[in-house]
Structure 1
Amino acid sequence: MNSAKHLTDARHQDSQRRRTKVLAALDQLAASGADISVSAVSRAAGVHRSLIYRHPDLHAAVTTRAAEPQINTTTGPTASKQSLLADIANLTDRVRRQDTHIRHLEQRLAETLGEQVWQRAGLGGPPDHDALQKRISHLEQHTTELQQQLADRDDDLDAARAANRQLIASLNNLKDKP
């Protein structure tokens, strides 16, 4: 019986010692202006995070301290965590836009250099490439116009054939009547 009481007392003392370490670590982090979270406090106290989560009063103390504005211990300007996160998001977006722009410029440079190499090597297209492209466009447009004219004439021919059939049918009907 005496040993059970001894074990209970030792367990209680160990629990009190760890609680004291957590509270001291929390005060130390708050005084230094460091970021306060359950992980940071447990790391500073040398205890497992589950200890803080199992004791509602310790967890409440950590979340309360984390929500408090940090005291400025420096002489220069400071920024809030939210403004720093916004800055990070803006910078990340800017880097993404710059990466896209750089890839576009690299692609254009590669195309230009590639064309120059082809022309210098004699493998490229003829020097009047632009004139030929314009001529191709003109001929394609002319072909489209001719195809439209042909379709219009086909429609006219079909209409004339239908009218001719009706006239012949009418003539045949007149011959058949006495």
Structure 2
Amino acid sequence: MTACELGSLSRGGSDSKNCAGLVGGQSVLVVHEGVQDRRDRTFLYRHRDLLADLHTAGSRSAGAPSAPKQAVTQASLQADLANANARAARLSARVRQLEDRLSRRLGNQAWRESGLGTPDDTEELQRTITRLERTNVELDAALDEVRAELAAAREANRDLTRAVNQRG
């Protein structure tokens, strides 16, 4: 397959104007039309043999006869297809990853805004609860100690009151 035939296939049909420009050595016309038609110019850079053909065609004078074009190898096209498929798979995986991330973030935001979700300061509230429970246990222990002392003081007071009443 020649560069001219490959160029027409990449555009989806035959384009004699571009082929004539390429064969006639007007590589600027081919590249320029590729830009106008929004074709991917990196296609030429991925196929070094086509790029070399364009450079040699551009360096020749307009009146000089052109040499026959080299054929694009099938291996080159298969490598390009494999690379394109791999890139498509990577981009597809990245899109899925970004969709999942966006879905999680939107879900969390909706959950928080609805008022059903836990507050953002859950960890702080948990620390406060733990601290207050510890203080409560300490106060209960201190209260039991004070009650025991009060019971002992009442017992001592009763004993003293009995002793005073028995003397007198």
Q: Which has the higher helix share?
A: 1
TM-score range, shorter chain: 0.3 to 0.5
TM-score (normalizing by structure 2): 0.34
TM-score (normalizing by structure 1): 0.32
